[in-house]
Every structure is written in C-alpha cells, then in structure tokens.
Amino acid sequence: MSIKVVTIVGARPQFIKAAAVSRVVRDDYAGKIDEVIVHTGQHYDANMSRVFFEELDIPEPGYNLEISGGQHGAMTGRMLEAVEKVLLAEKPDWVLIYGDTNSTLAGALAAAKLHIPVAHVEAGLRSFNMRMPEEINRILSDRISTLLFCPTETAVRNLQAEGILKGVHNAGDVMYDVALFYRDRARQQSSILGDLKLESHGFALATCHRAENTDDPQRLGQILSALAEIASQCPVVFPLHPRTRKLIGDYGLSRLLGKLVVTEPLNFLDMVALEQAAHFILTDSGGVQKEAFFYGVPCLTMRDETEWVETVELGGNRLVGASSSAIVDAVAEIMSGQPADAAASPYGTGKAAFKILSHLA
Ligand code: UDP
C-alpha cells in the first residue's frame, strides 16, 4: 500500500529543494509514495516559478492556490485557509514542508490542526534574529512538526536547545544533493557566460533580496553603492529579484545600477553556471551562500548573521553586513584568503532526499 504525501511549496528556493526529493520519489518510491504538490502561488513570475518546474523536472502541481502579495499576516492567513481545504480533500498521511517561508508556516499550521503529521525539510536552522520573517516561520513550523530533517549537526543542536528531541534526524542538506546533480549539467548546457560576454573567473556575481536589506533604503543604498564601486574593477552580474527591483525604483536608487550587469532572475542552470565561474560571490541568500561553498567560490554575505555557520567556520564565507566600505574592503581580503575546507563536508553526502523519504516511507 502506498502512502500519500502532500508537498507544500511556493517560493523559488522551495521549488529547487522539492525537485531533489520529487526526483527520488519518482525514481525509487514509485508505487510506494504518492506525492501531490501544492503550489501556494507565493512566487508567481514565470522566471521565479514556471522555469524551475520545467528545468528541474518537477511534477505539475495538483493545486495552484494563486496566493501572493499583501502583508505577511494576510498572505499566511489566506494560505492557511486554502491549504486546509486541500488537506481535507486529499487526506494525506504526511504533509511535507520546506524551509522558512509563509508557505512553510501555513502548510505546517493547516496540517497540525487537522492532526496530519508534518515533515519539515531544513529544520533547526536559526539566525537568532526574531525580526526576520523567516526566523518566525522556522521556529513555529519546527515546533509543530513530527519529523524534523536537519541539514547539519548545528541544526540538530539548535533544536535540542529548544527541547525538541523527538523525530529529529540529520539527513544532510537537500541543496547539496541538488548541487551534485546540476554542477556538471550547468557547465555543459548553459551559454550564459558567452551571452553576457563574461570570462570565466573574471567577474563577480551578486544577489540581494532579504527583507532586512531591501526594506531598509539605507542598507539597500549602501549595498548598491558597494556593488557599483566593485564594478569599476570587474564586471558585477546582478540577477535582480522582482521585489528588490521594485524597491530600488521606489527608493529612487536606480542610478546605482548603471555600472552593473543587471539581469532578470536567472533560470537555475544559468545561475549555477555563473556561480561556478565567478571570481567571488556577494549575496544575502541562504542558498547562494551554500552553493558558493559547494563550488569552492569565495563568498561575502551581506548580512549580520547567517544560519549556515559552517560556511564561515570553514573559511569559505564571511559576514560583512551592509556597510559599503566594509563590503568593498572585504573583497580585497577574501581574494587573498585560503579556499574553504570543503573536505569537511558538513552538509552530508548528497543523499539527503533519499534519507528523508526512507523515514517517511
Ligand atoms: N537562484 C536562481 N536564479 C537567480 C537567483 C537565485 O536560480 O536568479 C537560485 C540559487 O542558485 C539558489 C536559490 O535560487 O539555489 C536561492 O534562492 P533565494 O536566494 O531566492 O532564496 P534563499 O536561499 O535565500 O531562501
């Protein structure tokens, strides 16, 4: 007899993580696990959503709730109501949630109230900054999850410190599974270096979308000034998140984009190809910090803290905050630093999806 799993996704990083797990469902658990995907609609632009389903071979969602925009509370509330209806109709054995978005919390809460067990992939991550919407979503989702799949030992310890001991497994990081699967494919199939006329290791790659940076005109201005200054030394490729693009316009900061190689959000293979070929990476993204680490590319994280402390401890990543001078100074330093100790492999063996599904099944 097969078990039914409803997977809740809504945002770009969740599509990428879910791709790793759905592939193993299809390849190794056909007839044993029946997966129904629910797309909340949180990210809806084609280049933030559809492109990932096509490129990463993610099964078509059974439901698209088309819920996006508005304040966090309103968005989460609408998702909660809509996910509950889906769960009442589907009656799954498990609800599978990923990461730390409003879709994660809405899925966890809807399931827990219906006494459907929740499995959380990427459990136990903490920034210890309760002003981050992601931190609130993580803590609450973990508290009501039955199975907690941690990507690292640090995450396991974070849960222990909160008294959460039952159902906790260090499965490794599904993003590492993804990196191993797409690393060579991206290099072979992407033509982005030629399209943007870039030389391998002759450019920097930058991303910025965290609310703590984009919702503060001061911080966003400092970050863009730093990128503009770095761009006078080497090309800086800046795939622009739609929210960041809108806020740059609202704050009147568009002139700071003039020297950058600004692109629309990239498809995954192009992004991974650029990451591997970059001289260094500047980011506030959780996923991009780790991908830099996996590919051995020096990374500066434009935040005051990180959930992925191993990347910093092992020398591949540095927290530089959002001051323009600190970012520019750190570029010089990271270039002369040692490469990260990748042999330490704190993110598992690339079999996280398999481990997660073996527990579920
Ligand atoms: N990504 C992408 N195209 C882009 C920017 C990012 O495919 O233009 C990928 C990136 O490689 C990583 C993931 O999106 O796998 C990270 O998502 P994001 O930065 O939106 O969220 P976070 O990881 O911070 O939650």
Q: What is the mean pLDDT of the chain?
A: 96
In the three-class reduction of DSSP (H, G, I as helix; E, B as strand; rest coil), residue 7 is classed as: strand
Contacts of 179 (CB under 8 A, 6+ apart): 272, 290, 291, 294, 295, 350
Q: How confident is the model at residue 68 (pLDDT cuts 50, 70, 90)?
A: very high
Q: How confident is the model at residue 6 (pLDDT cuts 50, 70, 90)?
A: very high
Q: Per residue in 11-38, is it b (16+ CB within 10 Å) or e — as a string?
A: bbbbbbbbbbbbbbbeeebeeebbbbbb
Q: Where do the H-state alpha helices sit in the chain?
A: 12-28, 50-55, 72-90, 102-113, 133-143, 153-161, 174-189, 192-195, 211-214, 217-230, 242-250, 268-277, 286-294, 309-313, 324-335, 352-360
User: Which atom number of ligand 1 is nearest to the Cα of residue 264?
Assistant: 8
Contacts of 317 (CB under 8 A, 6+ apart): 289, 292, 293, 299, 300, 301, 306, 308, 311, 340
- Residues of the chain with pLDDT > 70, as a percent, come to 98
In the three-class reduction of DSSP (H, G, I as helix; E, B as strand; rest coil), residue 119 is classed as: strand
Using the predicted structure, report yes or no on whether residue 340 has a pLDDT greater than 80: no
Give the span between the Cα atoms of 218 and 90, in whole angstroms.
47
Give the span between the Cα atoms of 30 and 27, in whole angstroms.
7
In the three-class reduction of DSSP (H, G, I as helix; E, B as strand; rest coil), residue 155 is classed as: helix
The model's pLDDT over 24-43, given as tens digits with 9 standing for 90+, comes to 999 999 999 999 999 999 99
Contacts of 151 (CB under 8 A, 6+ apart): 122, 124, 125, 170, 171, 172, 173, 174, 175, 347, 348, 352
Task: Give Cα 224 distance to the centre of its chain.
Answer: 22
Using the predicted structure, report yes or no on whether residue 343 has a pLDDT greater than 90: no
Positions annotated as catalytic residues are 209
Contact 295, 278 (CB under 8 A): no
User: Which atom number of ligand 1 is nearest to the Cα of residue 207?
Assistant: 5
Using the predicted structure, report yes or no on whether residue 337 has a pLDDT greater than 80: no
Whole-number pLDDT of residue 202: 96
Give the span between the Cα atoms of 357 and 353, in whole angstroms.
6
**Using the 8-state DSSP alphabet, how is residue 263 labeled?**
E
The pTM score is: 0.97
Q: How confident is the model at residue 332 (pLDDT cuts 50, 70, 90)?
A: confident
Q: Ligand 1 center to residue 165 CA distance, Å? A: 30
Whole-number pLDDT of residue 1: 84
47 vs 341, which has greater pLDDT? 47
Give the span between the Cα atoms of 132 and 59, in whole angstroms.
31
Mean pLDDT of 241-247: 97
Taken in order 250, 253, 255, 256, the sign of the CA dihedral is negative
Contact 94, 118 (CB under 8 A): yes
Q: Ligand 1 center to residue 285 CA distance, Å? A: 7
**Using the 8-state DSSP alphabet, how is residue 152 labeled?**
S
Q: Ligand 1 center to residue 163 CA distance, Å? A: 31
Whole-number pLDDT of residue 60: 95
Q: How confident is the model at residue 81 (pLDDT cuts 50, 70, 90)?
A: very high
Whole-number pLDDT of residue 338: 66
Q: Which residues line ligand 1 (CB under 6 A)?
A: 12-13, 16, 207, 209, 239, 265-266, 268, 271, 285-288, 291
Give the span between the Cα atoms of 66 and 49, in whole angstroms.
12
The model's pLDDT over 268-302, given as tens digits with 9 standing for 90+, comes to 999 999 999 999 999 999 999 999 999 999 999 99
Using the predicted structure, report yes or no on whether residue 20 has a pLDDT greater than 90: yes
Mean pLDDT of 310-334: 94
Contact 361, 32 (CB under 8 A): yes
